[in-house]
């Protein structure tokens, strides 16, 4: 990518998209284009085609998606599968149709089977049943990976796919009904501290293991791959993660310390744990010359600071 290449960033307001925007701007890419959901409905094929015909982007970062935690995925599975399938199919097809030089599709670590061996290697895709609570979202993301693969096969396009681990950071969703575990815990501990509450309730047993990556690290990895590698070198997709995990209990204790909450943590074991462990194997990514640099503690401190500033 040249510094003045026309780059379309789909989903620029979300957690992932806003991090990609910051990264591209910091690297002095000057010709970035975006549209809000109000300006362009990505589930509408005609609208997407008209946008591509008019703007003719050379590079595309496909970060737009309908996302949420266990509760949202369990409550709205039809919306999750439909909206994500439509968004990725429309953008990937338009990228082929209007001659995009290179596209990066962002998937999710939930594509892997529920009981796949740990850490999760790229070749474990489709080797077993998915986690029931987010099956609809996972199937949509798997379809996106395969769309890229088969368009490359049939049409000679250069569409690459990356599968990030659990992400967190600025512009995350802190709504307790629809958020992921990290922002939910940051908000819960903060509000408990402000209101002098005696305890914070954490869903499940606290025993599941999870890997967390600051979204600025993820954005750095994506731009690095777009600048340096083609589909022929990457293969079907590459995991993006830090290669280390913590229990939900350890995460809760760390957030409690960073926020400065003095009370207790209580585990609500009537609530689901989800997958027992989810750690990405990042051997392939490290072999391509990239490693994460933001520690979990430092990343949470930065995120909590952002949360307080954005809230008040």
**273 known ligand binder:** yes
**295 known ligand binder:** no
d(CA 144, CA 120): 19
**11 known ligand binder:** yes
**77 known ligand binder:** no
**173 known ligand binder:** no
**188 known ligand binder:** yes
**24 known ligand binder:** no
**285 known ligand binder:** no
CA distances from 177 to 11, 134, 173, 300 (A): 21, 15, 10, 21
**165 known ligand binder:** yes
d(CA 204, CA 15): 25
Nearest residue to 285 (alpha-carbon basis) of 214, 232, 235, 249: 235
**37 known ligand binder:** no
**164 known ligand binder:** yes
**18 known ligand binder:** no
Which residues are catalytically annotated? 137
**166 known ligand binder:** yes
**235 known ligand binder:** no
Residues 245 and 181: beta-carbon distance below 8 Å: no
**288 known ligand binder:** no
CA distances from 69 to 80, 134, 273 (A): 11, 8, 12
Q: Which residues are annotated as a binding site for substrate?
A: 188, 203, 210, 273
Which positions make up the binding site for NADP(+)? 11-17, 106-109, 141, 164-167, 180
Query: Which parts are annotated binding residues?
Result: 11-17, 106-109, 141, 164-167, 180, 188, 203, 210, 273
């Amino acid at each position: 990518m040249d510094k003045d290449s026309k780059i379309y960033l789909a989903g620029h307001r979300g957690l992932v998209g806003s991090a990609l925007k910051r990264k591209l701007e910091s690297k002095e890419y000057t010709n970035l284009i975006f549209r809000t959901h109000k300006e362009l409905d990505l589930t509408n094929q005609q609208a997407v085609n008209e946008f591509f015909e008019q703007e003719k982007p050379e590079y595309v970062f496909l970060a737009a998606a309908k996302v949420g935690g266990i509760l949202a995925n369990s409550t709205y599975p039809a919306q999750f599968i439909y909206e994500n399938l439509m968004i990725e199919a429309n953008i990937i097809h338009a990228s082929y149709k209007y001659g995009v030089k290179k596209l990066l599709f962002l998937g999710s670590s939930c594509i892997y089977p529920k009981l796949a061996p740990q850490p999760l290697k790229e070749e474990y895709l489709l080797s077993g049943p998915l986690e029931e609570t987010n099956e609809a979202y996972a199937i949509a993301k798997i379809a996106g990976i395969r769309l890229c693969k088969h368009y490359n096969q049939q049409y000679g396009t250069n569409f690459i796919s990356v599968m990030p681990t659990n992400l967190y950071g600025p512009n995350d969703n802190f709504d307790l009904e629809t958020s992921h575990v990290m922002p939910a815990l940051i908000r819960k501990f903060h509000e408990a501290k402000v209101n002098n509450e005696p305890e914070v309730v954490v869903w499940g047993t606290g025993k599941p293991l999870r890997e967390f990556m600051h979204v600025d690290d993820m954005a750095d990895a994506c731009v690095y791959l777009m600048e340096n590698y083609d589909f022929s070198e990457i293969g079907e997709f590459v995991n993006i993660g830090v290669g280390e995990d913590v229990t939900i209990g350890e995460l809760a204790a760390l957030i409690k310390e960073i926020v400065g909450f003095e009370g207790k943590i209580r585990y609500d074991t009537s609530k689901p744990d989800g997958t027992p462990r989810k750690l990405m194997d990042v051997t392939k990514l490290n072999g391509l010359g990239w490693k994460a640099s933001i520690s979990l503690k430092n990343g949470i401190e930065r995120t909590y600071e952002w949360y307080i500033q954005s809230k008040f």
